[in-house]
Protein backbone atom coordinates (compact mmCIF):
# COMPACT_ATOMS: atom_id res chain seq x y z
CA UNK A 1 0.00 0.00 0.00
CA UNK A 2 1.51 3.33 -1.09
CA UNK A 3 1.13 6.12 1.43
CA UNK A 4 0.53 9.71 0.33
CA UNK A 5 3.65 11.76 0.96
CA UNK A 6 3.63 14.98 2.95
CA UNK A 7 6.60 16.12 0.82
CA UNK A 8 4.51 18.30 -1.50
CA UNK A 9 4.42 19.44 -4.23
CA UNK A 10 7.99 18.20 -4.83
CA UNK A 11 11.10 17.79 -2.64
CA UNK A 12 12.80 21.09 -3.63
CA UNK A 13 9.63 23.16 -3.16
CA UNK A 14 8.97 21.45 0.16
CA UNK A 15 12.54 22.10 1.36
CA UNK A 16 12.20 25.78 0.52
CA UNK A 17 9.44 26.12 3.15
CA UNK A 18 11.80 25.41 6.08
CA UNK A 19 13.16 28.39 8.03
CA UNK A 20 15.22 26.54 10.64
CA UNK A 21 18.11 24.13 10.17
CA UNK A 22 21.34 23.07 11.84
CA UNK A 23 24.16 20.57 11.18
CA UNK A 24 24.34 17.15 12.83
CA UNK A 25 27.55 15.16 13.14
CA UNK A 26 26.90 11.44 12.83
CA UNK A 27 28.46 9.42 15.64
CA UNK A 28 29.97 6.00 15.04
CA UNK A 29 27.44 4.38 17.41
CA UNK A 30 24.60 5.60 15.13
CA UNK A 31 25.79 3.40 12.25
CA UNK A 32 25.66 -0.31 11.45
CA UNK A 33 28.46 -2.69 10.40
CA UNK A 34 28.33 -1.38 6.82
CA UNK A 35 28.67 2.25 7.91
CA UNK A 36 25.02 3.13 7.16
CA UNK A 37 23.17 5.34 9.59
CA UNK A 38 20.85 3.02 11.53
CA UNK A 39 17.13 3.65 11.07
CA UNK A 40 16.69 4.32 14.80
CA UNK A 41 19.12 7.24 14.58
CA UNK A 42 16.80 9.22 12.29
CA UNK A 43 14.24 9.41 15.08
CA UNK A 44 16.90 10.63 17.52
CA UNK A 45 17.80 13.37 15.02
CA UNK A 46 14.11 14.34 14.78
CA UNK A 47 13.90 14.61 18.57
CA UNK A 48 17.06 16.71 18.70
CA UNK A 49 15.69 18.92 15.94
CA UNK A 50 12.35 19.42 17.67
CA UNK A 51 14.09 20.54 20.88
CA UNK A 52 16.54 22.80 18.99
CA UNK A 53 13.63 24.38 17.08
CA UNK A 54 11.66 25.21 20.24
CA UNK A 55 14.79 26.42 22.05
CA UNK A 56 15.57 28.68 19.07
CA UNK A 57 12.09 30.20 19.41
CA UNK A 58 12.41 30.53 23.20
CA UNK A 59 9.47 28.17 23.79
CA UNK A 60 10.96 25.51 26.06
CA UNK A 61 9.31 27.00 29.17
CA UNK A 62 5.95 27.13 27.36
CA UNK A 63 6.10 23.58 26.01
CA UNK A 64 8.34 21.69 28.48
CA UNK A 65 7.65 22.65 32.09
CA UNK A 66 6.38 21.19 35.36
CA UNK A 67 2.87 22.29 34.38
CA UNK A 68 2.74 21.04 30.79
CA UNK A 69 4.93 18.90 28.55
CA UNK A 70 4.97 18.10 24.84
CA UNK A 71 4.76 14.40 24.04
CA UNK A 72 5.04 12.57 20.73
CA UNK A 73 1.69 11.17 19.57
CA UNK A 74 2.97 9.75 16.27
CA UNK A 75 6.19 9.85 14.30
CA UNK A 76 7.15 8.62 10.84
CA UNK A 77 10.15 8.66 8.55
CA UNK A 78 10.44 8.20 4.83
CA UNK A 79 13.91 6.81 4.16
CA UNK A 80 14.83 8.13 0.71
CA UNK A 81 18.56 7.39 0.38
CA UNK A 82 21.31 5.84 2.49
CA UNK A 83 23.43 7.96 4.80
CA UNK A 84 26.95 7.16 6.01
CA UNK A 85 29.21 7.99 8.92
CA UNK A 86 31.09 10.86 7.26
CA UNK A 87 28.05 12.50 5.60
CA UNK A 88 27.56 16.17 6.58
CA UNK A 89 23.91 16.17 7.68
CA UNK A 90 21.76 19.26 7.74
CA UNK A 91 18.49 18.84 9.64
CA UNK A 92 15.59 21.13 8.74
CA UNK A 93 12.60 21.49 11.09
CA UNK A 94 9.28 23.28 10.83
CA UNK A 95 5.86 23.33 12.40
CA UNK A 96 3.51 22.65 9.51
CA UNK A 97 0.22 23.00 11.38
CA UNK A 98 -1.09 23.87 14.84
CA UNK A 99 -4.28 22.45 16.30
CA UNK A 100 -5.93 23.14 19.66
CA UNK A 101 -3.42 21.13 21.70
CA UNK A 102 -1.21 19.57 19.03
CA UNK A 103 1.29 20.46 16.33
CA UNK A 104 2.40 18.70 13.17
CA UNK A 105 6.18 18.97 12.99
CA UNK A 106 8.08 18.11 9.81
CA UNK A 107 11.73 17.21 9.33
CA UNK A 108 14.08 17.03 6.36
CA UNK A 109 17.54 15.46 6.47
CA UNK A 110 19.74 16.78 3.69
CA UNK A 111 23.28 15.81 2.67
CA UNK A 112 25.06 18.03 0.15
CA UNK A 113 21.76 19.37 -1.15
CA UNK A 114 20.11 15.95 -1.52
CA UNK A 115 17.05 15.03 0.55
CA UNK A 116 17.96 11.76 2.28
CA UNK A 117 14.99 11.43 4.65
CA UNK A 118 11.70 13.18 5.36
CA UNK A 119 9.81 12.92 8.61
CA UNK A 120 6.71 14.17 10.31
CA UNK A 121 5.06 13.73 13.63
CA UNK A 122 2.37 15.04 15.90
CA UNK A 123 3.25 16.37 19.32
CA UNK A 124 0.57 17.02 21.92
CA UNK A 125 0.77 19.40 24.86
CA UNK A 126 -0.20 17.47 28.01
CA UNK A 127 -1.17 18.93 31.39
CA UNK A 128 1.15 17.11 33.82
CA UNK A 129 -1.39 17.26 36.68
CA UNK A 130 -4.25 15.66 34.75
CA UNK A 131 -2.44 13.73 32.02
CA UNK A 132 -4.90 15.21 29.51
CA UNK A 133 -4.23 17.38 26.49
CA UNK A 134 -4.23 21.10 27.12
CA UNK A 135 -4.44 24.05 24.71
CA UNK A 136 -1.22 25.40 23.24
CA UNK A 137 -0.69 28.87 24.77
CA UNK A 138 -1.62 31.80 22.53
CA UNK A 139 1.86 33.31 22.92
CA UNK A 140 3.49 30.09 21.62
CA UNK A 141 1.05 30.04 18.69
CA UNK A 142 1.93 33.63 17.84
CA UNK A 143 5.69 33.03 18.00
CA UNK A 144 5.48 29.93 15.79
CA UNK A 145 3.06 31.55 13.33
CA UNK A 146 5.30 34.59 12.97
CA UNK A 147 8.46 32.50 12.58
CA UNK A 148 6.85 30.21 9.99
CA UNK A 149 5.50 33.22 8.06
CA UNK A 150 1.81 32.39 8.46
CA UNK A 151 0.92 35.92 9.57
42 found inside a domain: yes
pTM: 0.94
2 found inside a domain: no
100 found inside a domain: yes
Distance CA 25, CA 37 (A): 11
Distance CA 76, CA 85 (A): 22
99 found inside a domain: yes
Residues 122-143: tens digit of each pLDDT: 999 999 999 999 999 999 999 9
1 found inside a domain: no
Per-residue confidence (pLDDT) for residue 1, from 0 to 100: 62
Residue 87's CATH number? 3.10.129.10
Q: Which structural domain range is residue 46 located in?
A: 11-148
Is the CB of residue 77 less than 8 Å from the CB of residue 144?
no
6 found inside a domain: no
Residues 64-101: tens digit of each pLDDT: 888 899 999 999 999 999 999 999 999 999 999 999 99
Distance CA 131, CA 83 (A): 38
Tell me what percent of the residues of the chain surpass a pLDDT of 90: 91
Tell me what percent of the residues of the chain surpass a pLDDT of 70: 98
3 found inside a domain: no
Per-residue confidence (pLDDT) for residue 65, from 0 to 100: 85
Count up the domains in the chain and report the number: 1
Per-residue confidence (pLDDT) for residue 150, from 0 to 100: 94
Whether the predicted pLDDT of 2 surpasses 70: no
Per-residue confidence (pLDDT) for residue 79, from 0 to 100: 95
Q: What does the mean pLDDT of the chain come to?
A: 95
Output 24-32 pairs: Cβ under 8 A, ≥24 positions apart. 24/48, 24/89, 24/90, 24/91, 25/89, 26/83, 26/84, 26/85, 26/86, 26/87, 26/89, 28/85, 31/84, 31/85
Amino acid sequence: MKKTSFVQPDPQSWLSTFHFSFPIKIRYCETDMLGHVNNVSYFMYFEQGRIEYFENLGLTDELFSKKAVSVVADLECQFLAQMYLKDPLMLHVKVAEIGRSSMDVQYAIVVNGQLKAAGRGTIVLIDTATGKSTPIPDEARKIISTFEGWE
